[in-house]
Amino acid sequence: GLIILFPLPNPQPISSEDLLGNSSDTELGKVEQVLVPILDALILVLGVVGHTMVMVILSVTGTGTDILLLALSAADLLLLSMLPLHTAAIAMQRWPFGDLMCRLVGFLGSACSSASVFTLATLAVSRYLIVVHPARAYSLLSPRRLSITAVLLWVPACCLAVLLHRDSGTNNVESCIPCETD
């Protein structure tokens, strides 16, 4: 068991909102309203600049691996484009953009994340083929085939996002987690 060697000052029950940082009646909520936008702005600027540089540099070469890395950067840039919406919702302590945008942002977030994971898995398989079966990899991993693969990876990513965010038969905002509107 756990032995406490010193008394805890004013033990109060901790709600799940307090643990998640979603409580609006604490000082933590006020710090969150200020700190999150500052950190998110830094993440957004560095992410957009970094991924744009990666895309410009890799678009010149166009090898198979570069095509997959371009696809990965594109998915990450799309994911970054939703950050300002989340930042505004955190700063305002509510989701001000309505139910449709809530669903769209949730869908795109899941689709982009899934596409990134699928692209990384494809990149790992291509690396394996290049190292273990180099002669076969040369014919299998042509830039055209990898371009088609990078586009087709969005099909299961979008299907997965639809499954994660489909409406459960109701038309209320509660089905659009974690967003809460007015």
What's the CA gap between 22 and 14, in Å, rounded? Answer: 12
The answer to the question of residue 17 being in a domain is no
3-state secondary structure at position 177: coil
Which residues lie below 8 Å from residue 109, measured CB to CB, with a gap of 6+?
79, 82
The answer to the question of residue 130 being in a domain is yes
Q: What is the mean pLDDT of the chain?
A: 80
Q: Is the peptide bond before 11 cis (omega within 30 degrees of 0)?
A: no
The answer to the question of residue 16 being in a domain is no
The number of residues in the chain equals: 182
The answer to the question of residue 18 being in a domain is no
The answer to the question of residue 160 being in a domain is yes
Which two tokens mark 27? Answer: 């000082």
Hunting for tokens 């905002």 — which residue is that? 173
Domain that holds residue 80: 27-175
**3-state SS record for 36-56:** HHHHHHHHHHHHHHHHHHHHH
Q: CATH no. for residue 74?
A: 1.20.1070.10
Which two tokens mark 54? Answer: 């990666």
The answer to the question of residue 57 being in a domain is yes
The answer to the question of residue 139 being in a domain is yes
pLDDT score at 175 = 35
Question: Looking at the predicted structure, is the pLDDT value of residue 115 above 70?
Answer: yes
What's the CA gap between 28 and 46, in Å, rounded? Answer: 26
The answer to the question of residue 169 being in a domain is yes
Question: Which of 60-64, 121-125, 169-173 holds the top average pLDDT?
Answer: 121-125
Q: How far apart are the first and last CA of the chain?
A: 45
- pLDDT per position as a tens digit, 8-30: 344 444 444 554 555 545 566 67
Question: Looking at the predicted structure, is the pLDDT value of residue 1 above 80?
Answer: no
What is the mean predicted confidence (pLDDT) over 45-62? 91
Number of folded domains in the chain? 1
pLDDT score at 92 = 82
What's the CA gap between 106 and 96, in Å, rounded? Answer: 15
Least-confidence region, from 69-73, 99-103, 112-116: 99-103
What's the CA gap between 113 and 78, in Å, rounded? Answer: 10
DSSP single-letter state for residue 9: S
Which two tokens mark 121? Answer: 């898995």
